Amino acid sequence: MEPTRTEFLFMPGPLPKLLFYTLTFASLGWMVWQFVAMARTWRRGKPDEPKRPWWPEVASLILGQRKVQGSRPKGGGPMHLLIFYGFMALLMATTLLALATYAPMVGLPNWHKGAYYLAFEATFDVLGACFVAGCAWALFRRLGVGRPATLQGDRTDVAALVILFTCGLTGYLLEAARIAADPHPWDVWSPVGYGLSPILGQLAPSAYVGLWWFHMAWVWAFFVMLPRMRLRHLVVATVTAANRPARAMGALAKVSMEQVEATGKVGAVETGDLTRWHLTSLDACMECGRCTEVCPANGVGKTLDPRGIVQGIRAAEGNPLLEKLTEDDLWACTTCHACVEACPVSIRHVDLIVDVRRNLVAEGKLAGPQAVMLRQVGSTGHAWGQPVSEREQWMKGLNVPLCREGQPFDFLLWVGCAGATDPGAVKTTKAVATLLQWAGVSFACLGQEEACTGDPARRTGDEFTFQELAGQNANVFAKYGVTKVVTACPHCFNSLKNEYGDFGSQMEVLHHSQLLARLVREGRLAPADVPGGVTLHDPCYLARVNDEADAPRALLGAETDFNRDVSLFVRENLHPLPVASQLVEPAHHAQRTLCCGAGGGRMWADDAPGQRPADRRAEELLATGAETVAVACPFCRIMLDPALTGKTRVADVAELLLEANRQP
């Protein structure tokens, strides 16, 4: 007799089969009906934006588990991988078994026997055990063994894990019972069930049949309960991954006047003002708390809780969002995207927060220094309200070419509001201009023709001031035929690179560290050699939002490989770095950097003592023991300077590079 196993063992006649199929289709039908009802609520949102190709997203996020792997230091990542891959293995095993069982209905032989059967049993028996182990691990964790403080949970979570665990465990007990009641020489190929079978001893067929129905009852309960439990992310996260917006992480969606006229409102007031994709993503949230764990505002004791924002919006269900959210929490966000980066189901918290802010700003609910900033930037085109004449003061004695002088240039050196007038940031601007001159790079500045990119206005929620400034700058770019831009401000860099395309500006935009690193790699500049050790504070809008963490390190002579998208900082055919400063990484670095607290317009907000993200970050940087803190953003420098002055040296990577080079 060929190795195989009998389906519906000890259950002769049509009745057991009839009951099995009726209950299976009924529970599956109920599950599908609930998901369809959920999808109807998603359809109440605004139409979606252009999407990314679906299959790489699904492959990377769902099958590759990119966001889960290593994302949490306390065991959550490996535990999730055991459950996920174990579950997928069991799903595949069930599908293969069903195909083989029903093959005779289309004239094919049932192939679930012989060598195939033995390989099937050995493979899926082991993989399924991973699922049971993962569920047991998760259950212990939920019940308090090694549970992270931010992991919330209610009885539904425990119930979900009990259902999953029991489905898996009873599956193995059933296998052991089958081996005990109907032994065969090939049962050794089902190692887990074979190992368990002696525990059950001699088993009556009726006991096996009872266990069979008990196991199936848990499986049917799983189907029925799935849409009601956070476990629904198995399905919903796949839908969100397949429909992910093409918009870059750092780009906010543009609001048109036509939209405002059609809806009579600016920004999001209730859930129906969000896109369908955003509404779907809310249902994918599994309340894991990763976003809250990494939130810099939450980390300094503010009540902002990105998970709470997602759950609050979800709970609003067509009612005003502010019934579930607080204005203080919405204003506290620095738009650092740490939550977005950490979220395993790719929820875009910043889109949601800024969309509600837009409405608050339109309703005149913003007061204080951030409101002053909006008025200043709207009236002067400078975020600190400086007159345009101040934009050329830093150039004195440097012989910096201006676009209006009419000479051809390769790069527009975009200076930014801080870069033109803040004393610390001006040092960076001067260093960049000098280094470009020494390296023979053709560039020019706009001087008085430059206005704020509008980044602080947009992220504070003043969409139309941003659009006005972006339109004005885009016209100037077109006037001078600008095709390449370099800037020392990651906020300007992000906006020009990812958002100005909506205003007709198609340009290659580089952060100064990228262009300077290219010059170092080409041997046109020497890398910095900083004595006494140096640590780097990665700006959120460079390292995380735009995936560039290698270029600033290259300026310090450090070879690193943090960038996920190597196209941003091309290494091929370039010189190896000749000198290495002693670079000491702080606890949070590269894409997982810790925000200084300046983004999202928070630069202009007042934080209570003890609630300043910059102080927390400064402590971390000082803990490295490095004598120099290198920065790569004028906003970071302004925020960190007060906390670091007198304790260590703060300098932009361009200034450190300048010190290592000489005028040719």
Q: Is 112 exposed, middle or buried (0-12, 13-18, 19+ CB in 10 A)?
A: buried
Helix 114-142 vs helix 191-200: crossing angle, to nearest 10: 70
Which range binds ligand SF4 by CB under 6 A, 341-349, 385-393, 467-475, 619-627?
Answer: 341-349
Q: Is 343 in the site for ligand SF4 (CB under 6 A)?
A: yes
Pair of tokens at residue 327: 């204005």
Q: How far is CA 651 from CA 241, 396, 578, 630, in A?
A: 41, 21, 22, 5
Q: Go through the chain and tell me how many residues it has.
A: 664
Q: Is 339 in the site for ligand SF4 (CB under 6 A)?
A: yes
Which range binds ligand SF4 by CB under 6 A, 260-268, 292-300, 521-529, 652-660?
Answer: 292-300
Q: Find the radius of gyration of the CA atoms of the chain.
A: 30
CA 136, CA 172: separation in Å to the nearest integer?
14
In angstroms, give the least distance from the CB of 42 to ligand SF4: 17
Identify the bridge partners of residue 245 per DSSP, sorted by sequence position.
51
Residue closer to ligand SF4, measured from CB, 290 or 512: 290
- The answer for residues whose C-beta is within 8 angstroms of residue 460's C-beta and 6 or more apart is 357, 361, 366, 370, 373, 374, 600, 601
Q: Is 76 in the site for ligand SF4 (CB under 6 A)?
A: no
The footprint of ligand SF4 on this chain (CB under 6 A) covers a number of residues equal to 30
In the shown chain, the binding pattern of residues 306 to 335 toward ligand SF4, with x for contact by CB under 6 A and - for none, equals: xx--x----------------------xxx
Q: Is 543 in the site for ligand SF4 (CB under 6 A)?
A: no
Looking only at the bridges linking them, the beta strands covering 484-487 and 649-652 are: unpaired
Near ligand SF4 by CB under 6 A: residue from 234, 285, 415, 651: 285
Residue closer to ligand SF4, measured from CB, 294 or 650: 294
Q: Which of residues 161-180 bind ligand SF4 (CB under 6 A)?
A: none
Q: Is 136 in the site for ligand SF4 (CB under 6 A)?
A: no
Q: Is 279 in the site for ligand SF4 (CB under 6 A)?
A: no
Residue type at position 397: G
Residue closer to ligand SF4, measured from CB, 461 or 557: 461
- What is the DSSP annotation of 275-295? BHHHHHHHHH-----HHHHH-
Element (H or E) spanning 242, and its range? helix 233-242
In angstroms, give the least distance from the CB of 342 to ligand SF4: 6
Near ligand SF4 by CB under 6 A: residue from 247, 276, 337, 358: 337
Give the max Cα distance, the chain: 98
In angstroms, give the least distance from the CB of 596 to ligand SF4: 11
Residue closer to ligand SF4, measured from CB, 495 or 648: 495
Tokens 């390296």 identify what position?
439
Pair of tokens at residue 175: 């296998």
Identify the bridge partners of residue 630 per DSSP, sorted by sequence position.
536, 651
> Residue 278, CB half-sphere, CA atoms under 13 Å: how many?
28
Residue closer to ligand SF4, measured from CB, 207 or 605: 605
C-alpha dihedral (73, 78, 80, 84), degrees to nearest 10: 160
Q: Is 61 in the site for ligand SF4 (CB under 6 A)?
A: no
Q: Is 291 in the site for ligand SF4 (CB under 6 A)?
A: yes
Near ligand SF4 by CB under 6 A: residue from 350, 451, 596, 603: 350
Near ligand SF4 by CB under 6 A: residue from 342, 420, 509, 594: 342
In angstroms, give the least distance from the CB of 650 to ligand SF4: 23
In angstroms, give the least distance from the CB of 640 to ligand SF4: 17
- What is the DSSP annotation of 317-356? TTSBGGGTS-HHHHHH-----HHHHH-TT---HHHHHHHH
Q: Which of residues 584-613 bind ligand SF4 (CB under 6 A)?
A: 595
Q: Is 71 in the site for ligand SF4 (CB under 6 A)?
A: no
Per CB under 6 A, residues contacting ligand SF4 are 285-291, 294-297, 304, 306-307, 310, 333-339, 342-345, 347, 349-350, 595
